[in-house]
Amino acid sequence: MMNFKIVHIEETDSTNRWMKEHGEGEMVVVADFQTAGKGCGQNSWESERGQNLLFSVLIHPTNVSARTQFIITQVVSVALCNTLEKFIIQPVEIKWPNDIYVGDKKICGVLIENKLEGQRIKDCVIGIGLDVNQTVFKSDAPNPVSIKLLTGHDTDREQLLNTFLTELQQAFVNKTIQRDYHNRLYRRQGRHPYMAGDKRFEASIVGVNDDGRLMLENEQGIAHLFAFKEVSFIIDNG
């Protein structure tokens, strides 16, 4: 079992970057504010000072290889859903590969950065940005929501973090993680609009491969596999 040392800092550029520079053993770093929070790809991650949960967890999984690293995404996503469902009543889902959604809105983003040594994962930095008590979002993020917007009250960020760390440890030994991940998928039922390149199409989710690719079946009944960034969900935020 992991016994995390937790370091709190007031401000840093990015907790993921901080962890890559200062992390040792298995630990957690939490910041009240990031001056250069990183989102997926080129995106940034904005968060009002002191309102949300911005943290990174450093682990060294011994039974996960480069080839099976998508397991970590599944474990983290399922642990986040299980955590959030203890604080809000609405169902929590995973928008492939690892955005955490409530309805059509994003409540949490995950940025996992693995340092490989051959086939082995030497260091795994799990960065999480969870919207907790912020109620006004100024950034260009299209569809944000927070726990406070859903419940109407403030949530203790430390309690939330501790709950997540417990759920994370449980998810790592969960024998049905793949099934849990699949059952949690946003839009796992029905046909919905997607975009690949400049093509818009309607499709239904067949599943997610072990390597993390999303399988969509189009209106002609033909299935296609998409790697991350090869397809985007069209979400009506009306």
Tell me the residue nearest to ligand BTN as measured from the CB. 109
* CB 176, min distance to ligand BTN, A: 25
- Alpha-carbon gap, residue 179 to 211, rounded angstroms: 15
The three-state (H, E, C) secondary structure of the chain, written as one string: CCCCEEEEEEEECCHHHHHHHHCCCCEEEEEEEECCCECCCCCECCCCCCCCEEEEEEECCCCCEHHHCHHHHHHHHHHHHHHHCCCCCCCCEEECCCEEEECCEEEEEEEEEEEEECCEEEEEEEEEEECCCCCCCCCCCCCECCHHHHHCCCCCHHHHHHHHHHHHHHHHCCCCHHHHHHHCECCCCCEEEEEECCEEEEEEEEEECCCCCEEEEECCCCEEEECCCCCEECCCCC
- Taking the complex as a whole, how short is the minimal distance between the CB of residue 61 and ligand BTN, in angstroms? 19
Closest CB to ligand BTN among residues 3, 42 = 42
When the beta carbons of 149 and 204 are compared against ligand BTN, the nearer one is 149
Nearest distance in Å: CB 128, ligand BTN = 6
Cβ nearer to ligand BTN, comparing 5 with 120: 5
| Of residues 107 and 203, the one with the C-beta less far from ligand BTN | 107
The amino acid present at 160, given as its one-letter code, is L
List interacting residues with ligand BTN (CB under 6 A). Answer: 14-16, 34, 37-40, 43, 45, 54-56, 99, 109-111, 127-129
Q: How far is the CB of 28 from ligand BTN (least distance, A)?
A: 11
Q: Of the two residues 162 and 218, which places its CB atom closer to ligand BTN in the complex?
A: 162
Closer CB to ligand BTN, 29 or 64, in the complex: 29
Q: 38 vs 35, 47, 99, 110, 128, CA distance in Å? A: 10, 11, 14, 10, 10
Please, which residue, 19 or 203, has the CB nearer to ligand BTN?
Answer: 19
Shortest distance in whole angstroms from residue 131 CB to ligand BTN? 10
Q: State the nearest-atom distance from the C-beta of 85 to ligand BTN, in Å.
A: 20
Smallest distance from the beta carbon of 221 to ligand BTN, in angstroms? 32
